[in-house]
A and B are shown apart, each in its own frame.
With several copies, the nearest count.
Chain A
Amino acid sequence: MAGSTLTLGKALNEGLRKALEDDPKVLIMGEDVGRLGGVFRVTDGLQKDFGEDRVIDTPLAESGIVGTAVGLAIRGFRPVCEIQFDGFVFPAFDQIVSQVAKMHYRSAGNVKLPITIRIPFGGGIGAVEHHSESPESYFCHTPGLKVVSCSNPVDAYWMIQQAIASDDPIVFFEPKRRYWDKAEVDPSAGAPRSLWDAEVVRAGSEVTLLTYGPSVKVCLEAAAAAETEGRDIEVVDLRSLSPIDWKTVIASVRKTQHAIVVSEAPVYASLASEIAARISEKCFYELESPVLRVCGFSTPYPTSRIEEDYLPDLDRILDAVDRSLAF
Chain B
Amino acid sequence: MAVQSVQPSEGPELVQLLTPEGERVEHPDYSIDLTEDEYRELYRDLVLVRRIDTEATALQRQGELGLWASLLGQEAAQVGAGRALTGGDFAFPTYREHGVAYCKGVDPVTLLGLFRGVNQGGWNPHDKGFQLYTIVIGSQTLHATGYAMGLQRDGADGAVMAFFGDGASSQGDVNEAFVWSSVFQAPVVFFCQNNQWAISEPLERQSRIPLYERAKGFGFPGVRVDGNDVLAVLAVSRAALERAREGSGPTLVEAYTYRMGPHTTSDDPTRYRLAAELETWKLKDPIERMKAYLSRTGMADHDYFAEVDTAADELAAHIRAGCLALDDPDPITLFDNVYAGGSTLLDEEREQLAAYLGSFEGAH
Contact = CB atoms under 8 A, between A and B. Distances in A.
Q: Tell me, yes or no, whether A and B come into direct contact in the complex with CB atoms closer than 8 A.
A: yes
Interface of A: 27, 31-32, 34-37, 39, 53-54, 57-61, 63-64, 66-77, 87-88, 90-91, 94-95, 98-99, 103-112, 126-130, 143-144, 146, 166-168, 196, 242-246, 268, 297-300, 302-307, 309-310, 315-316, 319
B121 A106 contact: yes
A72 B149 contact: yes
A163 to B, nearest CB: 11
Contacts of B124: 107, 110
Contacts of A129: 114, 120, 135
Interface string B70-104: 00000000000000000000001001000000000
A126 B183 CA distance: 35
B221 interface: no
Contacts of B239: none
A95 to B, nearest CB: 6
Contacts of A94: 136, 139, 173
Contacts of B302: none
B119 A108 contact: yes
B333 to A, nearest CB: 7
B266 A39 contact: yes
Contacts of B154: 75-76
Interface string B126-155: 100001101111010111111111111110
**Helix, strand, loop or mixed for chain B's interface?**
helix
B117 A304 contact: yes
Given A59-B206, A306-B328, 19 more contacts: A32-B201, A35-B271, A36-B200, A59-B176, A64-B142, A64-B172, A64-B173, A71-B143, A72-B150, A74-B143, A74-B150, A75-B146, A75-B151, A95-B173, A99-B143, A106-B132, A128-B114, A300-B338, A303-B117
Contacts of A309: 331, 334, 353, 357
14 contacts: A34-B200, A57-B200, A72-B149, A106-B132, A108-B337, A109-B340, A111-B125, A111-B132, A126-B66, A128-B95, A129-B114, A167-B340, A297-B335, A309-B357
B338 A143 contact: yes
Given A32-B200, A128-B66, A146 B147 contact: no
Interface in B335-355: 335-341, 343-346, 349, 353
B199 interface: yes
B180 interface: yes
Nearest to B141: A67
B118 A305 contact: yes
B198 interface: yes
Contacts of A316: 356
Contact of B147 (A72, A104, A167): A72
Contacts of A59: 167, 170, 176, 179-180, 183, 205-206
A304 B120 CA distance: 10
B200 A303 contact: no
B349 to A, nearest CB: 5
Nearest to B272: A35
A151 B145 CA distance: 35
Contacts of A128: 66-67, 95, 114-115, 117, 120, 135
B171 interface: yes
A74 B336 contact: no
B271 A70 contact: no
B168 interface: yes
B338 A105 contact: yes
A70 B149 CA distance: 11
B217 to A, nearest CB: 15
B201 A57 contact: yes
B224 interface: no
Nearest to A316: B356
A37 B170 CA distance: 21
Interface in B199-240: 199-201, 205-206
B329 interface: yes
B177 interface: yes
B358 to A, nearest CB: 12
A249 to B, nearest CB: 12
Given A59-B205, A111-B126, A305 B329 contact: yes
Contact of A39 (B179, B199, B331, B340): B199
Given A53-B153, A104-B339, A302-B334, A95 B117 contact: no
Contacts of A305: 116-118, 328-329
Nearest to B335: A299
B281 to A, nearest CB: 19
A242 B135 contact: no
Interface string B55-79: 0000000000011000000000000
B120 A60 contact: no
A67 B172 CA distance: 12
B135 A144 contact: no
A210 B194 CA distance: 48
B131 to A, nearest CB: 7
Closest 8 CB pairs of A and B: A71-B146, A67-B142, A75-B150, A68-B146, A304-B117, A36-B200, A309-B331, A71-B147
Contacts of A299: 334-335, 338, 346, 349
Contacts of B345: 242-244, 268, 298
A66 B180 CA distance: 12
Contacts of A104: 337-340
A310 B118 CA distance: 14
A299 B334 CA distance: 7
Nearest to B120: A106
Given A57-B205, A63-B176, A71 B142 contact: yes
Question: Which of A73, A299, A315 has most chain B Cβ within 10 Å?
Answer: A299
B256 to A, nearest CB: 18
A315 B142 CA distance: 43
A127 B171 contact: no
A170 B333 CA distance: 23
Contact of A304 (B66, B200, B338, B357): B66
